[in-house]
Amino acid sequence: MAKRKISKKAQKKRIFKKTDRHSVLKQKRNLKTYTGIFDASSQGYGFITADDGIALSDADIFVPAKHVKDAVSGDKVSFTVTQYNGRPEAHIVSVLSRGTKTFTGVYRYIKHREGNRLKATHVVLADSKKLCFDTFISPAHLNGASDGDKVLCRITSYPDTTNQTSAHGIIEKVYGNSEELYPNVAAIIDSYGIRTEFPDDVTELADTVSARRVLKKNRLDLTDERIFTIDGEHSKDFDDAICVKKTDKGFELGVHIADVSEYVAHNSALDEEAYLRGTSVYFADKVIPMLPVALSNGICSLNPNVNRYALSAFIDIDKNGEITDCKIAGSVIRSKVRGVYSEVNDVIEKKEKSKYYKKYAPVFDAGGLDTVLELYNALKSKSARRHALELESAEFCFDISNDGRIVNAYIEERGVSERIIEQFMLAANEAVASLLLKRGLPCIYRVHGSPDTEKLRQLKAFADSVGIDTSALCGDEITLLSVQKFLCAAKDKGKGEIFSYLVLRCMMKAKYSQQHSSHFGLGAECYCHFTSPIRRYPDLVVHRIIKTLLLKSDKEQDAKLRSFCIKAAERSNECEDSATKLERDMDDLYMAAYSKDKVGQSFDSVITSVTSSGFFARLPYGAEGFVRLPAVNTEYIPSLYTVITPKRTYRPGDTVKVKISEVSISGRRIELTV
């Protein structure tokens, strides 16, 4: 066959094209390679958090789906960076190490026909939307799982896009039917790697130290003081107690916190376990404690009518609620009353006519209650002067029967007594942090940055569209006062609740840091966590600093504790993040289980957020479901938080009648229709 002639002009064109292609490839090879952790999305794209020392961007770097390659969420990857529309874009080069080795999901036995043969496929569908692949299981590795079971799967081979091979795995644990509540509870706990069992040496040490007698030697004896606790009805660990006295200049607030560090020595087996857990985890009627029960519910808990070790902060507060001084001492206390929020609220409302008044007489008689309320009002006024934000997220509660059924679900309303304890603990945390800063001592601070300006800008556009005055948000700097004025304007328009929720979503996340910084939301220049050492590790570290460096002035330990604060803050942030996500998933799970028998029922609901495919709406008892809108003739305007259909417009804060159409317990999902 004769060769086709190519003109010199065409040959020249081809050469240029070939040269350009090789030039591009050469440029790609010469790009600098970085490393980081990949986080996938359910749509296939993802983001990379670059390793420390890489000054690429303040934010995580976007990875388009076509450049994810074979990376799975959590993987350590190498990547290059190019610019796309003026923004950095990452292209993954290779996976350095796998971050996701096990996952929870639902096992499915799928029959299908190939030609004349009937075949079966065994596959696990991951719970996490970030794992965008199915994992195939050989019949030898089913571990007794039945179709529809919730399981724990270990990945033995990952998906390979180059060789077009699927992921394979082994079922390591079978929890039970995926549409039942408690198999899903166990699966969620495992998915976050939460430690639920204490090692034998930790339990034995806890039993040993908790058996020690409480002695008053070298401690302040406060056993005759009118000290008492106020907690929830079902609480079992009481780590804070209070005592309020009037003074010539105002008040003395005594905040007495369980001295956990007396029993949990630094670097002991107990301490190492507490460090790994970081925090207690609470959901529904259950708790996964940071410390063994012998400590958390026993010797460290400030139970009534027994002597307990405490770290007592004596805070002088003037009549305007301003903190003027703080002193701390090791003490022995004896709580006079185990207070319950609902009971104290009843006493506050009805005084002597309350059926609970007699119980609280030992601490409320002779003006005791009036003094507590006066101090509370002074502190509340100070918070108002600071324009401290009162952005309360919904606290979901569930009534569980003895046989494990969810009898009721509701949003808990906070009364005066809950707010009293909140204000007193805020004062104690601020006073202790300020004292440590003033003395030049290390501390694990609780810091909170200013709101995300881009998110606030979008919120402002939405508020403008619904007729709310946003002039307070027009300045160059966002302050507490400007946010507060904006929320007042929203409240005047009857939109206070939804805009409080939306502002909360614009806020930066509070975190622990060894570096001193302010707390934006509270309007506090200095803040730490001191009041809950039974359930939070940073509080325990702050207690050690106080006892070692403030009360004993052991300068040899200063450098060690200062260094440990960095490590403890980082670990505590990780543990808090996992616990927060777990608790959120548990709320969704329990709400789905409670809603299962309500399919077909209709409710008035409030829209909380919108997406390109529909909107989320909150039902009266707190559950949140999704309404999927038809794709045809539906317009989504993200800048205005708005979805428009031919029938109506949907925006956050709007009320809408919905019907529960489908509930998936395994998927923690409630589907609604309008």
Closest to 507 (Cα-Cα) out of 517, 516, 519: 519
Structure tokens at 104: 């929870």
More confident residue, 114 or 218: 218
Q: Is the pLDDT of residue 13 over 70?
A: no
Task: State both tokens at 174.
Answer: 């079978």
Query: Which residue carries 């903190």 as its tokens?
Result: 323
Contacts of 286 (CB under 8 A, 6+ apart): none
- Residues contacting residue 498 through CB under 8 Å, at least 6 positions apart: 490, 606, 608, 652, 653
Residue-wise pLDDT for 395-453, tens only, equals 889 999 988 899 999 988 889 999 999 999 999 999 999 999 999 999 999 999 988 88
Query: At residue 130, does pLDDT exceed 70?
Result: yes
Half-sphere exposure of 23 (CA within 13 A, CB side): 6
Banded model confidence at residue 599, pLDDT cuts 50, 70, 90: very high
CA distance 504 to 469: 18
pLDDT number for residue 4: 44
State residue 16's pLDDT score. Answer: 38
The percent of residues in the chain predicted with pLDDT above 90, rounded, is 71
Residue range 570-574: mean pLDDT, rounded: 96
Backbone angles phi, psi at 130, to 5 degrees: -80, -15
Report if pTM > 0.75: yes
What local confidence, expressed as pLDDT, does residue 477 receive? 80
Question: How many percent of the chain have pLDDT more than 70?
Answer: 93
Q: On the CB side of 422, how many CA atoms lie within 13 Å of its CA?
A: 14
CA-CA distance, 221 to 329, in Å (whole number)? 10
Q: What pLDDT does residue 392 have?
A: 64
- Determine which helix (DSSP H) or strand (DSSP E) holds 452, and give its type and residue range: none
Q: What is the pLDDT of residue 29?
A: 55
The 10s digit of each residue's pLDDT in 628-669 is 998 888 899 988 899 999 989 999 999 999 999 999 999 999
Q: What is the side-by-side strand order in the sheet with 642-644?
A: 635-637, 642-644, 649-650
Query: Is 73 a residue whose pLDDT tops 80?
Result: yes
The pLDDT value given to residue 257 = 98
pLDDT over 70 at 358, yes or no: yes
Q: What is the rounded average pLDDT of the residues 40-59?
A: 75
Residue type, 400: I
> Using CA atoms in the order 178, 181, 186, 187, what is the torsion angle rounded to 10 degrees?
40
Is it the case that residue 112 has pLDDT exceeding 80? no
| 320 vs 112, higher pLDDT | 320
Residue 498 is which amino acid?
Answer: I
The pLDDT value given to residue 11: 44
Q: How confident is the model at residue 19 (pLDDT cuts 50, 70, 90)?
A: very low
Beta strands in 319-456 (DSSP E): 323-334, 338-340, 396-400, 406-411, 445-447
- Residue 517, burial from CB neighbour count under 10 angstroms (0-12, 13-18, 19+): middle
Q: How far apart are CA 229 and CA 396, in angstroms?
A: 23
Give exposure, 126-140, as e/b (b: 16+ Cβ within 10 Å).
Answer: bbeebbbebbbbeee
Give the helix ranges, DSSP H, for 215-334: 269-277, 293
Angstrom CA distances, 157 to 46, 101, 121, 602, stand at 21, 10, 17, 46
C-alpha atoms less than 13 angstroms from C-alpha of 322 in its C-beta half-sphere: 5
Residues 220/312, Cβ–Cβ less than 8 Å:
yes
Tokens encoding 133 = 């692949």
pLDDT in tens, 487-537: 999 989 888 889 988 888 888 899 999 999 999 999 999 999 999 999 999
What DSSP designation does 590 have? Answer: H
State both tokens at 634: 């539906």
pLDDT digits (tens, 9 = 90+) for 154-191: 999 998 877 778 899 999 999 999 999 999 999 999 99
Residues with Cβ < 8 Å from 515, sequence gap 6 or more? 445, 447
Q: How many residues does the chain have?
A: 674
Q: State pLDDT tens for residues 92-102.
A: 999 999 988 99
Tally: H helices and E strands in the chain: 14, 31
Residue 42: alpha-carbon gap to chain centroid = 21
Q: What is the mean pLDDT of residues 48-63?
A: 72
Q: What is the pLDDT of residue 24?
A: 43
Helices assigned H by DSSP within 351-402: 357-364, 368-386
Mean pLDDT of the chain: 90
pLDDT tens digit sequence for 267-279: 999 999 999 999 9
pLDDT category of residue 3 using cuts at 50, 70 and 90: very low
Structural tokens at position 551: 């009360």
